[in-house]
Structure 1
Amino acid sequence: MTAEEMNDYHGKLLFRALLIVFLLGAEAAEGARVFTIINYCKTTIWPGITPGNSFNGGGFPLKPGESVVFTAPVGWSGRIWGRTGCDFDRDGNGSCQTGACGSVLKCSASGQTPATLAEFTLAPLDFYDVSLVDGFNLPITVTPVNGQGGNCSSAGCDGDLRDNCPSELAVKVDGKTVACRSARKQRVCTYHINKLICSGSPGRRPSSTGKWLAVLLLGLASMWSSSWL
Protein backbone atom coordinates (compact mmCIF):
# COMPACT_ATOMS: atom_id res chain seq x y z
CA MET A 1 0.00 0.00 0.00
CA THR A 2 1.51 3.33 -1.06
CA ALA A 3 1.49 6.53 1.02
CA GLU A 4 -1.02 7.99 -1.45
CA GLU A 5 -3.33 5.00 -1.06
CA MET A 6 -3.09 5.24 2.73
CA ASN A 7 -3.94 8.93 2.55
CA ASP A 8 -6.99 8.17 0.39
CA TYR A 9 -8.14 5.43 2.78
CA HIS A 10 -7.52 7.16 6.08
CA GLY A 11 -7.70 10.86 5.25
CA LYS A 12 -11.30 11.50 6.27
CA LEU A 13 -11.48 9.12 9.22
CA LEU A 14 -8.17 9.88 10.93
CA PHE A 15 -8.20 13.65 10.72
CA ARG A 16 -6.93 14.04 14.30
CA ALA A 17 -4.85 10.92 14.87
CA LEU A 18 -1.23 9.84 14.74
CA LEU A 19 -1.31 6.82 12.39
CA ILE A 20 1.29 4.04 12.60
CA VAL A 21 1.31 1.57 9.70
CA PHE A 22 3.61 -1.44 9.76
CA LEU A 23 4.22 -3.76 6.83
CA LEU A 24 4.04 -7.52 7.26
CA GLY A 25 4.54 -10.45 4.95
CA ALA A 26 6.47 -10.88 1.74
CA GLU A 27 6.84 -7.18 0.93
CA ALA A 28 8.97 -6.62 4.03
CA ALA A 29 12.52 -7.91 4.29
CA GLU A 30 12.69 -11.34 5.89
CA GLY A 31 12.13 -10.91 9.62
CA ALA A 32 12.05 -7.10 9.41
CA ARG A 33 9.04 -4.79 9.71
CA VAL A 34 8.59 -1.50 7.88
CA PHE A 35 6.89 1.25 9.90
CA THR A 36 5.23 4.32 8.40
CA ILE A 37 4.29 7.04 10.90
CA ILE A 38 1.82 9.63 9.59
CA ASN A 39 0.67 12.76 11.42
CA TYR A 40 -3.02 13.37 10.78
CA CYS A 41 -3.24 15.81 13.69
CA LYS A 42 -3.69 19.53 13.14
CA THR A 43 -0.43 20.43 14.91
CA THR A 44 3.17 19.22 14.89
CA ILE A 45 3.79 16.01 16.84
CA TRP A 46 7.18 14.83 18.11
CA PRO A 47 7.06 11.00 18.12
CA GLY A 48 9.09 9.29 20.82
CA ILE A 49 10.32 5.73 20.25
CA THR A 50 12.17 3.34 22.56
CA PRO A 51 14.40 1.63 21.77
CA GLY A 52 14.93 4.08 18.94
CA ASN A 53 18.27 3.27 17.33
CA SER A 54 16.52 2.32 14.09
CA PHE A 55 14.02 5.19 14.34
CA ASN A 56 16.12 8.33 13.86
CA GLY A 57 17.58 8.07 17.34
CA GLY A 58 14.20 7.82 19.08
CA GLY A 59 12.69 11.23 18.38
CA PHE A 60 11.93 13.75 15.63
CA PRO A 61 9.34 16.38 14.63
CA LEU A 62 6.46 15.48 12.34
CA LYS A 63 4.38 18.31 10.91
CA PRO A 64 0.69 17.92 9.98
CA GLY A 65 0.36 15.67 6.93
CA GLU A 66 3.98 14.52 7.04
CA SER A 67 5.05 10.87 7.16
CA VAL A 68 8.29 9.03 7.84
CA VAL A 69 9.34 5.44 7.11
CA PHE A 70 11.61 3.23 9.23
CA THR A 71 12.62 -0.43 9.19
CA ALA A 72 12.60 -2.12 12.59
CA PRO A 73 15.28 -4.77 13.16
CA VAL A 74 14.45 -8.43 13.58
CA GLY A 75 12.95 -9.12 17.01
CA TRP A 76 12.36 -5.44 17.87
CA SER A 77 10.05 -4.74 20.80
CA GLY A 78 9.24 -1.25 21.92
CA ARG A 79 6.94 1.72 22.33
CA ILE A 80 5.90 4.60 20.12
CA TRP A 81 4.08 7.63 21.49
CA GLY A 82 3.46 11.23 20.52
CA ARG A 83 4.80 14.30 22.31
CA THR A 84 2.94 17.58 22.06
CA GLY A 85 3.70 21.23 22.66
CA CYS A 86 7.46 20.79 22.29
CA ASP A 87 10.17 23.40 21.84
CA PHE A 88 13.71 22.18 21.06
CA ASP A 89 16.85 24.10 20.19
CA ARG A 90 19.34 23.19 17.45
CA ASP A 91 21.11 20.81 19.81
CA GLY A 92 17.92 18.87 20.52
CA ASN A 93 17.44 20.21 24.03
CA GLY A 94 14.09 21.53 25.18
CA SER A 95 10.75 20.60 26.70
CA CYS A 96 7.29 19.23 25.85
CA GLN A 97 3.88 19.79 27.36
CA THR A 98 3.11 16.06 27.19
CA GLY A 99 5.07 12.84 26.65
CA ALA A 100 8.51 14.32 27.37
CA CYS A 101 11.43 11.89 27.74
CA GLY A 102 13.47 14.23 29.87
CA SER A 103 14.65 17.40 28.13
CA VAL A 104 15.88 15.89 24.85
CA LEU A 105 14.49 15.39 21.35
CA LYS A 106 15.85 11.87 20.86
CA CYS A 107 14.41 9.55 23.50
CA SER A 108 16.39 6.88 25.31
CA ALA A 109 13.78 6.48 28.07
CA SER A 110 10.00 6.23 28.27
CA GLY A 111 7.88 9.33 28.02
CA GLN A 112 6.36 11.17 30.94
CA THR A 113 2.78 10.25 31.74
CA PRO A 114 0.03 10.79 30.82
CA ALA A 115 0.63 9.63 27.26
CA THR A 116 -1.06 7.31 24.77
CA LEU A 117 1.19 4.34 23.96
CA ALA A 118 1.50 2.10 20.91
CA GLU A 119 3.31 -1.08 21.97
CA PHE A 120 4.90 -3.70 19.71
CA THR A 121 6.52 -7.12 20.06
CA LEU A 122 7.82 -8.34 16.70
CA ALA A 123 8.36 -12.07 16.28
CA PRO A 124 7.06 -14.84 13.99
CA LEU A 125 3.73 -13.87 15.58
CA ASP A 126 3.56 -10.08 16.02
CA PHE A 127 1.74 -8.42 18.92
CA TYR A 128 0.64 -4.79 19.02
CA ASP A 129 -1.76 -2.64 21.01
CA VAL A 130 -2.71 0.92 21.85
CA SER A 131 -2.73 1.39 25.62
CA LEU A 132 -4.22 4.04 27.90
CA VAL A 133 -2.68 2.56 31.04
CA ASP A 134 -0.51 5.67 31.33
CA GLY A 135 -3.30 8.06 30.37
CA PHE A 136 -4.13 9.85 27.12
CA ASN A 137 -2.55 12.78 25.29
CA LEU A 138 -3.55 12.26 21.65
CA PRO A 139 -5.33 9.73 19.40
CA ILE A 140 -3.15 6.95 17.96
CA THR A 141 -4.14 4.25 15.49
CA VAL A 142 -2.00 1.24 14.50
CA THR A 143 -2.77 -0.44 11.16
CA PRO A 144 -0.97 -3.62 10.00
CA VAL A 145 -0.64 -4.23 6.25
CA ASN A 146 -0.44 -7.68 4.59
CA GLY A 147 -0.96 -9.58 7.82
CA GLN A 148 -1.75 -13.27 7.41
CA GLY A 149 -3.69 -15.32 9.94
CA GLY A 150 -4.81 -14.22 13.38
CA ASN A 151 -6.68 -10.98 13.97
CA CYS A 152 -4.65 -8.43 12.01
CA SER A 153 -7.02 -5.52 12.52
CA SER A 154 -6.35 -1.89 13.34
CA ALA A 155 -5.94 -0.91 17.00
CA GLY A 156 -6.70 2.41 18.63
CA CYS A 157 -9.14 5.21 17.95
CA ASP A 158 -9.32 8.62 16.34
CA GLY A 159 -11.49 10.16 19.07
CA ASP A 160 -9.99 12.84 21.32
CA LEU A 161 -10.71 11.72 24.90
CA ARG A 162 -9.37 15.02 26.26
CA ASP A 163 -12.66 16.62 25.26
CA ASN A 164 -14.45 14.71 28.05
CA CYS A 165 -11.66 14.27 30.60
CA PRO A 166 -12.83 14.50 34.26
CA SER A 167 -11.55 17.73 35.79
CA GLU A 168 -9.64 15.91 38.56
CA LEU A 169 -7.71 13.91 35.94
CA ALA A 170 -7.09 16.71 33.46
CA VAL A 171 -3.61 18.13 32.80
CA LYS A 172 -3.99 21.74 31.72
CA VAL A 173 -1.70 24.32 30.15
CA ASP A 174 -3.00 27.89 29.97
CA GLY A 175 -6.47 26.61 30.81
CA LYS A 176 -6.53 24.04 27.98
CA THR A 177 -6.65 20.29 28.67
CA VAL A 178 -3.55 18.81 27.00
CA ALA A 179 -3.75 15.31 28.52
CA CYS A 180 -5.90 13.09 30.72
CA ARG A 181 -4.39 11.09 33.58
CA SER A 182 -5.20 7.43 34.10
CA ALA A 183 -7.29 6.37 37.09
CA ARG A 184 -5.39 3.08 37.37
CA LYS A 185 -4.11 3.79 40.91
CA GLN A 186 -7.72 3.61 41.99
CA ARG A 187 -10.08 0.70 41.41
CA VAL A 188 -10.43 1.00 37.67
CA CYS A 189 -12.43 -0.66 34.94
CA THR A 190 -11.17 -0.95 31.36
CA TYR A 191 -12.58 -2.30 28.13
CA HIS A 192 -10.72 -5.30 26.69
CA ILE A 193 -11.81 -7.57 23.84
CA ASN A 194 -15.47 -6.59 24.15
CA LYS A 195 -15.51 -7.19 27.92
CA LEU A 196 -15.53 -4.83 30.88
CA ILE A 197 -12.72 -5.78 33.27
CA CYS A 198 -12.34 -4.27 36.75
CA SER A 199 -9.36 -4.58 39.09
CA GLY A 200 -8.54 -3.71 42.68
CA SER A 201 -10.61 -3.76 45.83
CA PRO A 202 -14.37 -4.18 45.39
CA GLY A 203 -14.93 -1.46 47.95
CA ARG A 204 -16.06 2.10 47.36
CA ARG A 205 -14.75 3.54 44.11
CA PRO A 206 -13.75 7.21 43.79
CA SER A 207 -15.96 9.19 41.44
CA SER A 208 -13.11 9.96 39.02
CA THR A 209 -12.78 6.27 38.15
CA GLY A 210 -16.38 6.11 37.00
CA LYS A 211 -15.94 9.30 35.00
CA TRP A 212 -12.79 7.96 33.35
CA LEU A 213 -14.65 4.76 32.47
CA ALA A 214 -17.35 6.86 30.85
CA VAL A 215 -14.71 8.67 28.81
CA LEU A 216 -13.29 5.33 27.64
CA LEU A 217 -16.72 4.07 26.64
CA LEU A 218 -17.38 7.27 24.70
CA GLY A 219 -14.17 6.62 22.80
CA LEU A 220 -15.40 3.17 21.76
CA ALA A 221 -17.80 4.76 19.30
CA SER A 222 -14.87 5.51 16.97
CA MET A 223 -12.73 2.47 17.76
CA TRP A 224 -11.91 -0.36 15.39
CA SER A 225 -9.97 -2.70 17.65
CA SER A 226 -7.72 -2.18 20.65
CA SER A 227 -6.01 -3.73 23.64
CA TRP A 228 -6.55 -1.93 26.95
CA LEU A 229 -3.74 -3.34 29.07
Structure 2
Amino acid sequence: MAVAWSCLLLVLLVWLSCIDRTGAAGATFTFVNSCGFTVWVGVQSNGGIALLAGGGFELAAGSKNAVSAPAGWGGRFWGRTGCNFDSSGQGKCETGDCGGVLKCGGTGGAPPASLAEITLDGANGDDFYDISLVDGYNLPLEMTPSGGTGVCGSPGCTYNLNDNCPQVLQVRSVQGSSISFSYSFLCVEL
Protein backbone atom coordinates (compact mmCIF):
# COMPACT_ATOMS: atom_id res chain seq x y z
CA MET A 1 0.00 0.00 0.00
CA ALA A 2 1.48 3.36 -0.95
CA VAL A 3 0.95 5.57 2.06
CA ALA A 4 0.10 9.25 1.63
CA TRP A 5 1.79 11.00 4.52
CA SER A 6 -0.35 14.08 4.87
CA CYS A 7 -1.98 12.50 7.88
CA LEU A 8 -2.10 12.63 11.63
CA LEU A 9 -3.54 10.29 14.21
CA LEU A 10 -4.69 12.58 16.98
CA VAL A 11 -5.45 11.41 20.49
CA LEU A 12 -7.52 13.92 22.44
CA LEU A 13 -7.30 13.44 26.17
CA VAL A 14 -10.68 14.55 27.44
CA TRP A 15 -11.09 15.42 31.13
CA LEU A 16 -7.48 14.62 31.78
CA SER A 17 -6.28 16.89 34.53
CA CYS A 18 -2.62 16.36 33.67
CA ILE A 19 -0.75 17.84 36.57
CA ASP A 20 -3.12 19.22 39.19
CA ARG A 21 -5.34 16.23 39.92
CA THR A 22 -7.85 16.51 42.74
CA GLY A 23 -9.30 13.05 43.17
CA ALA A 24 -9.32 9.93 41.07
CA ALA A 25 -11.32 10.09 37.90
CA GLY A 26 -11.19 8.29 34.61
CA ALA A 27 -10.67 9.84 31.21
CA THR A 28 -12.04 9.63 27.70
CA PHE A 29 -9.56 9.29 24.85
CA THR A 30 -10.89 10.47 21.50
CA PHE A 31 -8.97 9.24 18.47
CA VAL A 32 -9.18 11.30 15.28
CA ASN A 33 -7.84 9.86 12.03
CA SER A 34 -6.73 12.76 9.83
CA CYS A 35 -5.02 10.40 7.41
CA GLY A 36 -6.38 9.72 3.96
CA PHE A 37 -6.50 5.99 4.73
CA THR A 38 -7.78 3.65 7.43
CA VAL A 39 -5.69 3.21 10.57
CA TRP A 40 -6.25 0.32 12.98
CA VAL A 41 -5.58 1.47 16.54
CA GLY A 42 -3.82 -1.01 18.82
CA VAL A 43 -4.28 -0.86 22.60
CA GLN A 44 -2.05 -2.40 25.26
CA SER A 45 -2.80 -1.86 28.94
CA ASN A 46 -0.09 -2.04 31.59
CA GLY A 47 0.05 -5.33 33.51
CA GLY A 48 -2.95 -6.05 35.70
CA ILE A 49 -4.99 -3.15 34.30
CA ALA A 50 -8.27 -3.46 32.37
CA LEU A 51 -7.92 -3.73 28.60
CA LEU A 52 -9.67 -0.94 26.69
CA ALA A 53 -11.69 -1.41 23.48
CA GLY A 54 -10.87 -5.11 23.39
CA GLY A 55 -7.31 -4.22 22.45
CA GLY A 56 -7.94 -2.48 19.15
CA PHE A 57 -10.33 -1.02 16.62
CA GLU A 58 -10.60 0.18 13.04
CA LEU A 59 -10.58 3.94 12.44
CA ALA A 60 -11.58 4.93 8.90
CA ALA A 61 -10.09 7.99 7.23
CA GLY A 62 -11.64 11.17 8.64
CA SER A 63 -13.41 9.40 11.49
CA LYS A 64 -13.11 9.50 15.27
CA ASN A 65 -13.75 7.09 18.13
CA ALA A 66 -14.00 7.74 21.89
CA VAL A 67 -12.66 5.20 24.39
CA SER A 68 -13.31 5.54 28.14
CA ALA A 69 -10.63 4.61 30.67
CA PRO A 70 -11.12 4.06 34.40
CA ALA A 71 -9.13 5.88 37.07
CA GLY A 72 -5.67 4.37 37.44
CA TRP A 73 -5.48 3.15 33.84
CA GLY A 74 -2.12 3.06 32.10
CA GLY A 75 -0.95 1.78 28.76
CA ARG A 76 -0.18 2.62 25.16
CA PHE A 77 -1.92 3.16 21.85
CA TRP A 78 -0.44 2.92 18.36
CA GLY A 79 -1.68 3.12 14.81
CA ARG A 80 -1.38 0.08 12.56
CA THR A 81 -1.25 0.50 8.80
CA GLY A 82 -1.81 -1.66 5.75
CA CYS A 83 -4.00 -4.13 7.62
CA ASN A 84 -6.19 -6.79 6.08
CA PHE A 85 -8.50 -8.75 8.41
CA ASP A 86 -11.06 -11.43 7.65
CA SER A 87 -14.54 -11.53 9.18
CA SER A 88 -13.19 -13.29 12.29
CA GLY A 89 -10.62 -10.53 12.94
CA GLN A 90 -7.62 -12.57 11.75
CA GLY A 91 -5.12 -10.98 9.39
CA LYS A 92 -1.93 -8.96 9.25
CA CYS A 93 -0.72 -5.35 9.26
CA GLU A 94 2.29 -3.89 7.44
CA THR A 95 3.22 -1.83 10.52
CA GLY A 96 2.36 -2.22 14.20
CA ASP A 97 0.95 -5.75 13.83
CA CYS A 98 -0.05 -7.43 17.11
CA GLY A 99 -0.02 -11.13 16.38
CA GLY A 100 -2.22 -11.06 13.29
CA VAL A 101 -5.46 -10.01 14.99
CA LEU A 102 -7.72 -6.94 14.95
CA LYS A 103 -8.22 -6.94 18.74
CA CYS A 104 -4.68 -7.07 20.16
CA GLY A 105 -5.94 -8.49 23.48
CA GLY A 106 -3.00 -7.11 25.48
CA THR A 107 -0.28 -7.95 22.96
CA GLY A 108 1.97 -5.05 21.99
CA GLY A 109 2.58 -3.96 18.43
CA ALA A 110 5.55 -5.14 16.41
CA PRO A 111 8.08 -2.37 15.78
CA PRO A 112 8.20 -0.02 14.08
CA ALA A 113 5.22 1.78 15.57
CA SER A 114 4.78 5.33 16.91
CA LEU A 115 3.36 5.17 20.46
CA ALA A 116 1.03 7.30 22.58
CA GLU A 117 1.71 6.38 26.23
CA ILE A 118 -0.60 7.35 29.10
CA THR A 119 -0.73 6.83 32.88
CA LEU A 120 -3.74 8.09 34.85
CA ASP A 121 -3.37 8.68 38.59
CA GLY A 122 0.37 7.99 38.59
CA ALA A 123 2.88 9.37 41.09
CA ASN A 124 1.25 11.87 43.46
CA GLY A 125 -2.06 11.29 41.67
CA ASP A 126 -0.79 13.04 38.53
CA ASP A 127 -1.49 11.96 34.96
CA PHE A 128 1.39 11.43 32.56
CA TYR A 129 1.36 11.16 28.77
CA ASP A 130 3.89 11.26 25.95
CA ILE A 131 4.60 10.33 22.36
CA SER A 132 7.38 7.76 22.08
CA LEU A 133 9.41 6.54 19.13
CA VAL A 134 11.23 3.89 21.19
CA ASP A 135 9.63 1.24 18.94
CA GLY A 136 10.37 3.16 15.73
CA TYR A 137 8.09 5.40 13.67
CA ASN A 138 5.19 4.60 11.37
CA LEU A 139 2.65 7.45 11.72
CA PRO A 140 2.61 11.06 12.87
CA LEU A 141 0.89 11.35 16.27
CA GLU A 142 -0.24 14.20 18.48
CA MET A 143 -1.96 14.26 21.88
CA THR A 144 -4.07 17.24 22.94
CA PRO A 145 -5.52 17.39 26.46
CA SER A 146 -8.94 18.92 27.03
CA GLY A 147 -10.67 19.80 30.29
CA GLY A 148 -9.00 19.31 33.62
CA THR A 149 -7.15 21.89 35.65
CA GLY A 150 -3.42 21.41 35.10
CA VAL A 151 -0.92 23.08 32.83
CA CYS A 152 -0.78 20.60 29.99
CA GLY A 153 1.18 20.48 26.75
CA SER A 154 0.36 18.82 23.45
CA PRO A 155 3.18 16.40 22.67
CA GLY A 156 3.46 15.17 19.15
CA CYS A 157 5.61 13.97 16.33
CA THR A 158 3.71 15.44 13.42
CA TYR A 159 6.54 15.55 10.90
CA ASN A 160 6.76 12.66 8.46
CA LEU A 161 10.09 11.12 9.45
CA ASN A 162 9.90 8.74 6.49
CA ASP A 163 10.66 11.64 4.14
CA ASN A 164 14.24 11.82 5.42
CA CYS A 165 14.77 8.31 6.75
CA PRO A 166 18.15 6.80 5.79
CA GLN A 167 17.60 3.88 3.44
CA VAL A 168 19.20 1.39 5.83
CA LEU A 169 16.51 2.20 8.45
CA GLN A 170 13.50 2.14 6.11
CA VAL A 171 10.85 -0.54 6.35
CA ARG A 172 9.28 -1.06 2.94
CA SER A 173 5.82 -2.20 1.89
CA VAL A 174 5.37 -5.18 -0.41
CA GLN A 175 5.10 -2.64 -3.25
CA GLY A 176 8.51 -1.21 -2.30
CA SER A 177 7.54 2.18 -0.85
CA SER A 178 8.99 3.35 2.47
CA ILE A 179 6.26 2.97 5.10
CA SER A 180 8.13 3.31 8.38
CA PHE A 181 11.38 4.13 10.12
CA SER A 182 13.01 1.40 12.21
CA TYR A 183 15.71 1.70 14.84
CA SER A 184 16.33 -2.06 14.99
CA PHE A 185 19.23 -1.86 12.53
CA LEU A 186 21.17 0.18 15.08
CA CYS A 187 21.11 -2.77 17.50
CA VAL A 188 22.49 -5.36 15.10
CA GLU A 189 26.21 -6.13 14.86
CA LEU A 190 27.58 -2.86 16.21
> What is the TM-score of this pair, normalised by structure 1?
0.69
Matched to 1:177, the amino acid is S
Equivalenced residues, count: 171
Aligned with 2:119 (options 117, 121, 129): 121
Could you say if the C-alpha distance between residues 144 and 184 of structure 1 is closer, same or farther in structure 2, counting changes exceeding 3 Å? farther
**Offset of 1:183 from its aligned partner?**
6.2
Task: Flag the structure with higher strand content.
Answer: 2
Could you say if the C-alpha distance between residues 74 and 181 of structure 1 is closer, same or farther in structure 2, counting changes exceeding 3 Å? same
> What is the TM-score of this pair, normalised by structure 2?
0.83
Residue of structure 2 equivalent to 1:175: 176
Q: Secondary structure, in 3 states, of the residue corresponding to 2:58?
A: coil
Aligned with 1:32 (options 26, 31, 35): 26
Residue of structure 2 equivalent to 1:166: 166
Structure with the bigger RCO (C-alpha within 8 Å, sep 6+) is 2
In 2, the alpha carbon distance for the partners of 1:35 and 1:80 equals 10
1:16 is the counterpart of 2:3: no
Q: Confirm or deny: 8 A CA contact 1:46 1:83 kept in the other structure.
A: yes
Q: Secondary structure, in 3 states, of the residue corresponding to 1:135?
A: coil
CA deviations on 1:78-119 (whole Å, 9 max, x unpaired) are 000000000000100000000000111101211000110010
Q: Confirm or deny: 8 A CA contact 1:54 1:72 kept in the other structure.
A: no
* Runs of 4+ that moved beyond 6 A: none
Residue of structure 2 equivalent to 1:133: 134
**Offset of 1:34 from its aligned partner?**
0.9
1:45 is the counterpart of 2:39: yes
**Offset of 1:70 from its aligned partner?**
1.3
Residue of structure 2 equivalent to 1:6: none
Task: Flag the structure with higher helix content.
Answer: 1
Report matched runs for 1:1-229 at 5 Å: 16-24=7-15, 31-51=25-45, 55-107=52-104, 108-123=106-121, 124-150=125-151, 152-173=152-173, 174-182=175-183, 185=186
**Structure ID, larger Rg:** 1
- Cα RMSD of the aligned pairs, angstroms, is 2.2
Q: Secondary structure, in 3 states, of the residue corresponding to 1:60?
A: strand
Matched to 2:42, the amino acid is G
